[in-house]
Amino acid sequence: MTNLPHPDPSTPETNRPLDAGMEGSGDGQELYPEHHRLDRRPRWAALAISGLAGAVTVTLLNEGARRALLHAPRMDVIGERALAGTLDAVGVKPPRGQALYGWTMAADIVSNALYYGLVGLGSREAALARGAGLGLAAGVGAVVLPEPMGLGRQPGARNPRTPLLTTAWYLAGGLAAAATYRRLTRAP
């Protein structure tokens, strides 16, 4: 058994509680400097809340616009087709009508929240760039992928405004997730 040096109880570095920063080596040196820490909220909570902010933004834009604009993005229709096809493929009878719509909205919120939560993986300073990248990737994917995946086109997709708005909604979701993450992780 090695004899470890006992810290001098009169120094402020050794008298502070262990939860005040990361544990040190006992010699007053912290393993991780204070500026590397986020605030006191757990990181997973910031990721989850940020992802949810992005998902809710996309859903509100899509649902609000489809009620107000001609040729608005109809990602809800693509989502319903995807959910019904997936359930059918695993031998489960898919719901119909409002039930299918409700299940689709729930699945969209969960999957988009998980996706937009990725905005917090990396430095806080680059969160806006990551949010924009995630949003643009999701928007372009939502425009380009449904037809090759066998989900058909979204209603109104022939109008050039529809793909642009689809991409804009997902970009807004990425930026909302990034802004939320930056707000939640700013220094106290």
Sequence letter at residue 30? E
Of the two residues 13 and 108, the one the predictor is more confident about is 108
Per DSSP, the three-state class of 69 is: coil
Entry pTM: 0.74
Give me the pLDDT at residue 186, please: 85
Residue 36: the pLDDT is: 47
Mean pLDDT of the chain: 83
Which residues, in sequence order, are CB contacts of 73 under 8 Å at separation 6+?
A: 62, 65, 66, 142, 154, 156, 162, 165, 166, 169
Local confidence band at 4 (pLDDT 50, 70, 90 cut-offs): low
Chain segment 119-159, per-residue pLDDT in tens: 999 889 999 999 999 999 999 999 999 999 989 887 777 78
Taking the C-alpha atoms of residue 167 and residue 169, their distance in angstroms, rounded to an integer, is 6
Q: What is the pLDDT of residue 42?
A: 67
Structure tokens at 44: 């997973």
**pLDDT attached to residue 31:** 47
